[in-house]
Amino acid sequence: MEDAQEQKSQSLGQDDENEIVTESAAFVHGEPPQDANGPPKVDSAVEILQEKVTKQIIKEGHGQKPSKYSTCFLHYRAWTESTQHKFEDTWQEQRPVEMVLGKEKKEMTGLAIGISSMKSGERSLLHVGWELGYGEEGNFSFPNVPPMADIIYEVELIGFDETKEGKARSDMTVEERIGAADRRKMDGNALFKEEKLEEAMQQYEMAIAYMNDDFMFQLFGKYRDMALAVKNPCHLNLAASLIKLKRYEEAIAQCSIVLSEDENNVKALFRRGKARAELGQTDAAREDFLKARKYSPENKAITRELRLLSEHDKALYQKQKEIYKGIFGARPEPKPKRTNWLIVIWQWFLSLFYRLFRRHRQKSD
């Protein structure tokens, strides 16, 4: 733990209850969720969960499996099996979905069966028959699913809450809900310090799920401020984790969520700038760093990142200069003209003849 003076001078690089350090820790390679035009190809064994539901594990999870009436937090993509048409993708929204096992919507029955067989952090591919999906009639509103369509899900169980207190999240008071989210955030911070990034991210995402859009829409005044004081640091800590995992596009999205609420948030600007710089988006990164410096002019981390961008630009300019020099070459020096002595002698004879002619004419006159 660094002393108070150093914490003050390097506030963007230090860890407190609302913030996670990104600059000093080692980078860890992570595997982002697969995102292609169709479902991912999986080689693992097929597990039959029910007559109409099968599962293949993409990434192993940890811990226990959820029980009935557990509140589960998950991300998923869904395709119709026959047409390979993707009709839902919660990863694009950067917000997890909540599902209470045993109380799910009818069209989510097959998905719930799959979720009940999974551990926290597990990502799997589910094949669900139409009978446990959108049924014989399908769905003609959003999401648009044709009749009798078998469904493929790529799903990740972020985590779950057991119903030990016998109180559903929807029955909690505002203070209870924000308090539960804050505990998740603190658990995430502890895991982050242990370099358990994936598990830390699960805690942050579950904390964010406690404060989904419907809940935030109802808040105003001090309650909204209380909720944002927990929610925004979770997004920022997710961004810090994603930068460590080199998942820069996702980190940018998390920072942008914070900036949509607080456009001058220095930490969000700084971390988005770092992610953009890693992607080679130097102009956008510089814009973020300059705006962050406007609100934190003494911050050394921002100054360092701007200096690195300037050095990068100089190096790129020099490299381009060398490339163009190699293509076009140096400007050729003019070659000296060779003397044609025949012409010189001829010009001398003409000059001599002209002088003799003038002298002879002067004598005649």
More confident residue, 25 or 10: 10
Pairing of strands 97-100, 53-59: unpaired
Q: List pLDDT tens digits, range 162-172.
A: 765 445 677 78
Residues with Cβ within 8 Å of residue 82, at least 6 apart in sequence: 146, 149, 150
Better-predicted residue by pLDDT, 246 or 12: 246
The single residue listed with the structure tokens 């404060």 is 211
User: Burial letters for 158-179: b for 16+ Cβ neighbours within 10 Å, e otherwise?
Assistant: bbbbebeeeeebeebebeebbe
pTM (2 d.p.) = 0.65
- CA dist list (Å): 250 to 97, 201, 204, 241, 268: 17, 12, 14, 10, 13
> pLDDT of 88-108, one tens digit each?
998 877 677 888 888 888 999
* pLDDT mean across residues, the chain: 82
Q: How far apart are CA 116 and CA 114, in angstroms?
A: 5
Q: Which fold has domain 168-314?
A: 1.25.40
- pLDDT of 250 higher than 60: yes
Mean pLDDT value of segment 295-318: 86
What's the fold here for domain 47-161? Answer: Chitinase A; domain 3 (3.10.50)
Map out the domains of the chain as residue ranges: 47-161, 168-314
Gyration radius from the chain CA atoms: 34
Question: Helices 222-244 and 266-278: crossing angle, nearest 10°?
Answer: 20
